[in-house]
Chain A
Amino acid sequence: MAVSVSLEDVVKTFGSTRAVDHISLTIEPGELFFLLGPSGCGKTTLLRCIAGFHEPESGAIRMGDQDVTRLPPHQRDTGMVFQSYALWPHMTVAQNVAFGLEMRKVGKEETAKRVQDALRMVKMTDRAEHKPNQLSGGQQQRVALARALVIHPKCLLLDEPLSNLDAKLRLEMRTEIRRICKEAGLTAIYVTHDQKEALSVADRLAVLNGGIVEQCGTPQDVYLNPVSEFAAGFIGETNFLDATVRRVSGDEILLETPMGEWTSSRSGKGFSEGQPVRLSIRPEAFRLGDPPTGTVNQARGIVHDTVYLGEVAQHQVRLGDDGGSNVKVFDLNPRILARDTEQEATLWVEAQDVVVLNRGNA
């Protein structure tokens, strides 16, 4: 049932804006794949190209062995969950769900059974005879999902499916969607701008920006090893610091920073001596307090503001360098607080948490 979806060099332009700029991706059968990016990055356009609502100017879209690039939407056999749900207001929940089966000329009995199964899967059996406008947002969302699932699509397409729900429901539904996709063994492509949604649910994700793929990989891979300033900044929070490469030796990079000489134990591939670079260090990678002996990456700073959240404190630390850089530090199980007073502190970071990026591609 589940098929792979591959995009080859897909281009889509609206007027003078290139919404999708030569994107190539391969989504494996049964994979839950996320397209992540800020609004206007081309993620929804790409999804609509896959569904067939936009025809790309060039490039190819394949589902399994079939080239679907020029196929009209109704022949593609995808199941789409729309951002607005797009439930037909003149049909009941059951009629909405049965519609796709009717188009596929599935027999009456089987239709009834499959509709029941789909509604059971999303826990909506008791609302089968309701009209969509009698349902809450979360319930409508479930029906939209059931309607897309019931046809056993080659590929499930989800366009920001949770953006109209409140925060609590969003948390609940995102694990629910993952459970359902995995149970059905579906290939699914999920569009969102919410990085937490992507990190927590995706098998793999692609970070899109300005119509191109900045980075593609597993959530952990993208979070820990961002390849560009954009990818580092868009997924999670990070601190950017300027530095210059002093020396590259194997997997270690020696860096010249305003705080002194630092090292990064990441791959030094692609960097050369004297090159200006940008460091990305996650707030939770910084530690406050006395560093273990032999720690190279340390600096003196002043904690001048703290947001206390119980399990974590988010400090603003002004580094004691000439540039007066400010960094954000997440302190788990916090001891140091600086709400109204400023406090001096030492801060340090392990060499493996210092990510070195080329400058100027933000």
Chain B
Amino acid sequence: MRKSTAWFIFALTLFVFGFGFLFPLVLVIKEGFVSSDGGITFKYLIGVFRNPVYVEGLLNSLRLAVGTTLTATLISLPLAWLSNRFTFPGKKVVNALLLVPMILPPFVGAIGFQQIFGQYGVVNSLFGLDVDWLGEGRWMGVILLQSMGLYPILYLNLSAALANVDHAMDEAAENMGATGWTKFRRITLPLIMPGFFAGGTIVFIWSFTELGTPLIMNYTRCAAVQVFDALKEIGSNQFPFALVMVMLTVSVGLYLISKLVFGRQAHAMQGKAATTFQEVKLTGGKGLLALTPFVLVIFFALLPHFGVILTSFSAPGGWYGTVLPEVWTTGNYVEALGHNMTVSSIRNSLTFSLLAVLFNIAFGVAIAFVVVRSDLKVRGLLDGLAMMPLAVPGLVMAFGFLAVSSTLSNTELVRNSDWLKHIVDVKTNPAFFLVLAYSIRRLPYMVRSAVAGLQQTSAGLEEAAANLGAPPMVSLRRVTLPLITANLIAGALLAFAFSMLEVSDSLMLAQRQDFYPITKTIYELFQLIGTGKFIAAALGVWAMVFLAVTLVGSSLLLGKKLGALFRV
């Protein structure tokens, strides 16, 4: 590609990231360090660590993150290993179903989870118990829900890593006399460590700062919820900014450490594994045995969502202290579609997500092109920049966008222009910032999938087109894009699904009801006494069905390559 085009894309990326990523972060950091009289101060930061409530919140968040990462590992490692070594009846189906929880919003699942494990829920009714499962152990519920939603990311990473281990490495180990557990511990595990850390880092950062699940589970003593609650006093209280900064530091620090320790070159094998494992075929009882853990995990991962489905079909107040709802109805769906808040929220979410995805496709392909096909020296930097949003929690970004919006709204220019107000003032219209937030935060997935596609497509194919007289844009349209379509669709679907389910930005930035996205509406409905929870469940089911279709579609299109999207 031409140098001038490459530089233009690089400059454009710098501009977009400067405004949509660095500017918000700088404002968050500034707010945390600058006192009311304009001087630099550490008093807010120190204040956070002096305040026992904040310290408890941070420690609890750490506990959630560690617990979630460990649980997700315990779930996904054995499954990934089984799937790598064996084939058995039903494997394809369970492999696809295993990924479904990824796009089922855990915070929606939390509604069903409470119906099942609540004091007057299914489990107690079934066994005639009266245990308050979610009383003191509420945090364990959050960990369970989060690991059930996040284990697919680890599973995809571990599967990809295992698939990349050259069979010869394994045979060499056996040749030297190492078998079974020793072989796994000394050879396989070290080789898949980079893959594990790549996925583990994402899971850790995600669960460390997850807002939706603890919020619905009413687990208020963690940092994310504390930050969200403090939103009401923003402007008068600088401590939330300092707290957000601590979360940012932990996340970025972890990301950088995993980058340093397991840089892309660590344990790099010569491209793909030269010899892959011949999967051992299991039939009959053995096949069933291998299938069982998959089915169990899928069952437990989907259980909260079954709870949501049941809730959505239960008449308000008709499911209390019984195993199943006593009064069935489809009225919640009717009401959900009739409710003015829900209809507009579906329209809003679709619009915002589609715009974000369109932006991401164009921008992601352009960035990937420079990264893979240009000889620009800064292309590594560009790649790193495009991946950075993975390291920054959504909560932090949301806070940053709020700060950007209020900063810009206070300028003379904006105050005098209705037109500009509609763009930059989230209180007037949050559409611009929501689309920007959705785009920037999901861009890494798009870039990764486009990069993967381009790397699999030999540059010779484009050169052949140029050689035969195709100008660059024609070559892009006729040769490159058709060849990476599968990657683009998968990346786009994923970015779309995640945008539809986005919690932090949606909850914080959308402040007017007519601009609520689905997630904010579900949260608001859930807060309503009486019918709210049931309508929220119906809306959640609608979103889940919609997204399940998108993900199944993308996994069919991309198969195993889906794992490449979740590399840090």
Contact = CB atoms under 8 A, between A and B. Distances in A.
Given A90-B482, A103-B474, A74 B458 contact: no
Contact of A88 (B461, B467, B469, B474): B461
Interface in A49-64: 51-53
Contacts of A76: 467
Interface stretch (A77-85, A278-286, A320-328): A77-85
A147 interface: yes
A89 interface: yes
B268 interface: no
Contacts of B472: 74
A336 interface: no
A74 B464 contact: no
A53 B466 CA distance: 9
A86 B461 contact: yes
Contact of B463 (A53, A77, A79, A148): A53
Contacts of B464: 80, 82, 86-88, 147
A88 B479 contact: yes
Contacts of B468: 74, 79, 99-100, 103, 147-148, 151
A151 B483 contact: no
Given A88-B479, A89-B483, A103-B474, A78 B460 contact: no
Interface residues of A, number: 28
Interface in B475-492: 475, 478-479, 482-483
Contacts of B463: 51, 53, 73, 80, 82, 86
Contacts of A86: 458, 460-461, 463-464
A335 interface: no
Interface centre among B458, B460, B475, B482 (most CB of A within 10 A): B460
A76 B468 CA distance: 9
A74 B460 contact: no
A140 to B, nearest CB: 12
A104 B465 CA distance: 12
B471 interface: yes
Name B's interface SS. helix
A72 interface: yes
Contacts of A74: 465-472, 475
Contacts of A88: 461, 464-465, 479, 483
A92 to B, nearest CB: 13
Contacts of A72: 466, 471
Interface residues of B, number: 19
Contacts of A51: 463, 467
Contacts of B467: 51, 73-74, 76, 78-80, 148, 157
Nearest to B460: A86
Nearest to B466: A73
Contacts of A84: 458, 460
Contacts of B469: 74-75, 77, 100, 103-104, 151
A78 B469 CA distance: 9
A148 B467 CA distance: 9
Contacts of B475: 74
Contacts of A99: 465, 468, 470, 478
A73 B464 CA distance: 9
B397 to A, nearest CB: 38
A261 B401 CA distance: 91
Contacts of A75: 469
A103 B471 CA distance: 9
Nearest to A100: B468
Contacts of B465: 74, 88, 99
A78 B463 CA distance: 12
Interface in B425-458: 458
Contacts of A79: 467-468
Nearest to B474: A103
A72 B482 CA distance: 23
Contacts of A89: 483
Contacts of A90: 482-483
A73 B466 CA distance: 6
A124 B483 CA distance: 25
Interface string A207-248: 000000000000000000000000000000000000000000
Contacts of A83: 460
B74 to A, nearest CB: 41
A85 to B, nearest CB: 8
A104 B468 CA distance: 9
Interface string A140-169: 000000011001000001000000000000
B32 to A, nearest CB: 44
Nearest to B469: A103
A167 B467 CA distance: 29
Contacts of A100: 468-469
Interface in A113-156: 147-148, 151
Interface centre among A52, A75, A90, A147 (most CB of B within 10 A): A90
A147 B465 CA distance: 10
Interface centre among A73, A84, A87 (most CB of B within 10 A): A73
Contacts of B470: 74, 99, 103
Contacts of B460: 82-84, 86
Nearest to A82: B460
Contacts of A104: 469
23 contacts: A73-B466, A74-B466, A74-B467, A74-B468, A75-B469, A76-B467, A78-B467, A79-B467, A79-B468, A80-B463, A80-B467, A84-B458, A86-B458, A86-B464, A87-B464, A88-B461, A88-B465, A99-B478, A100-B468, A103-B470, A103-B474, A148-B468, A157-B467
Which are the 6 A-B pairs with shortest beta-carbon distances?
Answer: A100-B468, A103-B469, A86-B460, A86-B464, A73-B466, A80-B467
Given A74-B475, A89-B483, A90-B482, 4 more contacts: A73-B467, A75-B469, A83-B460, A103-B469
